[in-house]
């Protein structure tokens, strides 16, 4: 039998991923092949063999950025020198509406992602450097522990039985100890990496941004070289305004799009509130919006966006905050 000739044209691969498994749909022109695999190292090997059996050397893989289950496979594909895109699920949902799709199965979802990938060719994803990935994982674990502590604290409301109150208080003490240890590890990790340390110091020169916010922003924001403008950073965080207009009518006030990184928005909310009083640039900006009759929540959203613009400028320039150039 003649040897199999591999197709040099880059095919589109859609991946619908879950905790333990994933479905892959490989689109080569009009040909669609679908497979089901375990979401682990052995499954990745089986998946790679399956792709090779389809006669494909290069492909563009697309998957949704839901949860954390996508990242090991994305890293695996990137290390195999394949083009990988991690797409906001809202973009895929919008694409499904354009197809008037009514089917909802894992295989159909994978095929839909493959069609989206072929038609829209989204930008490639880049894995985080090891030190940045560890910082992100540390801060996210810290936030999970803090959330668990808050949930336990809520159980003290009212008058729980004495035995239950004592148990909850012991649990809270354990959480406090773990939170302290995590902060020690986070600070030590940043201090071991000069770039992370320098960037945290730069961010702390911005009035209203302290150690906690600076650390969270460095953990969640990609490197600024990825962006060409402050507006792109704002869009990444879902802080660009969303307008509602039909014909000549504008319905309601503009709202934040929220089609982006929610963790960055949460990290910026309280600093934006504080910045309205203590950051001269944000204070003057907010006063102008107040003078135009904007409501408080619109002003807070705009202050968050402006604060992120300043963050981008400081990190991009490598210079401390200067109100004259913000």
Q: What is the CA 214 to chain-centroid distance, rounded? A: 16
Q: Could you tell me if 234 and 277 lie in one domain?
A: yes
What's the pLDDT band for 296 if we cut at 50, 70, 90? very high
d(CA 295, CA 251): 16
At 11, give phi and psi (nearest 5°).
Answer: -85, 165
- pTM of the complete model: 0.82
Average pLDDT of the residues of the chain:
91
pLDDT of the residue at 88: 87
Tens-digit pLDDT profile for residues 199-213: 999 999 999 999 999
Q: What CATH number is attached to the domain comprising 63? A: 3.30.420.40
For 224-251, how does the pLDDT look when each residue is reduced to its tens digit (9 = 90+)?
988 999 999 999 999 987 645 444 444 5
Task: Give the closest residue to 307 by CA, choosing from 268, 262, 265.
Answer: 268
Query: Which residue shows structure tokens 């089609």?
Result: 259
- 100 and 171 belong to one structural domain: no
Residues 6+ apart with CB under 8 A from 205: 314, 320, 321
Contact 204, 210 (CB under 8 A): yes
Residue 100 pLDDT class (50, 70, 90 cuts): confident
Q: Which structural domain range is residue 258 located in?
A: 200-326
Domain boundary among 120, 142, 176: 120
pLDDT digits over 254-282, tens only?
556 566 789 999 999 999 999 999 999 99
Segment 121-167, tens digit of pLDDT: 998 998 989 999 999 999 999 999 999 999 999 999 888 899 999 99
Alpha-carbon distance of 62 to 125, in angstroms, equals 9
182 and 216, same domain (yes or no):
no
CB 237 within 8 A of CB 244: no
Q: Does residue 83 contact residue 10 with C-beta atoms inside 8 Å?
A: yes
DSSP code of residue 238: T
- 66/54 Cα distance (integer angstroms): 27
Asked if residue 277 belongs to a domain, the reply is: yes
């Amino acid at each position: 039998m003649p040897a199999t000739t591999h197709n040099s044209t880059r095919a589109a691969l859609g991946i619908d991923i879950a905790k333990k498994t994933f479905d892959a749909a490989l689109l080569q022109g009009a040909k669609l092949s679908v497979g089901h695999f375990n979401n682990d190292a052995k499954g990745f090997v089986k998946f790679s063999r399956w792709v090779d059996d389809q006669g494909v050397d290069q492909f563009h893989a697309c998957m949704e950025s839901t949860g954390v289950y996508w990242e090991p496979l994305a890293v695996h594909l990137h290390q195999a020198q394949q083009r990988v895109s991690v797409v906001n699920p809202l973009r895929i949902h919008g694409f499904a509406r354009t197809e008037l799709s009514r089917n909802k199965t894992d295989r159909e979802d994978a095929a839909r992602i493959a069609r989206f990938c072929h038609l829209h060719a989204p930008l490639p994803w880049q894995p985080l450097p090891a030190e940045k990935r560890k910082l992100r994982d540390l801060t996210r674990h810290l936030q999970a522990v803090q959330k668990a502590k808050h949930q336990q604290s809520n159980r003290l409301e009212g008058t729980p039985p004495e035995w239950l109150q004592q148990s909850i208080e012991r649990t809270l003490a354990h959480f406090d100890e773990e939170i302290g240890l995590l902060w020690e590890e986070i600070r030590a990790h940043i201090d071991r990496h000069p770039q992370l340390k320098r960037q945290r110091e730069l961010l702390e020169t911005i009035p209203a941004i302290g150690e906690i916010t600076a650390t969270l922003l460095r953990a969640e924001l990609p490197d600024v070289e990825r962006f060409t403008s402050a507006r792109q950073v704002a869009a990444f965080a879902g802080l660009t305004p969303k307008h509602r207009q039909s014909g000549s009518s504008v319905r309601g006030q503009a709202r934040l799009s929220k089609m982006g990184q929610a963790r960055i928005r949460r990290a910026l909310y309280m600093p934006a509130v504080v910045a309205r009083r203590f950051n001269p640039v944000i204070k003057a900006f907010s006063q102008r919006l107040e003078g135009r009759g904007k409501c408080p929540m619109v002003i807070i959203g705009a202050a968050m966006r402006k604060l992120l613009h300043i963050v981008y400028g400081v990190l991009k320039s490598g210079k401390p905050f200067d109100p004259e150039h913000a």
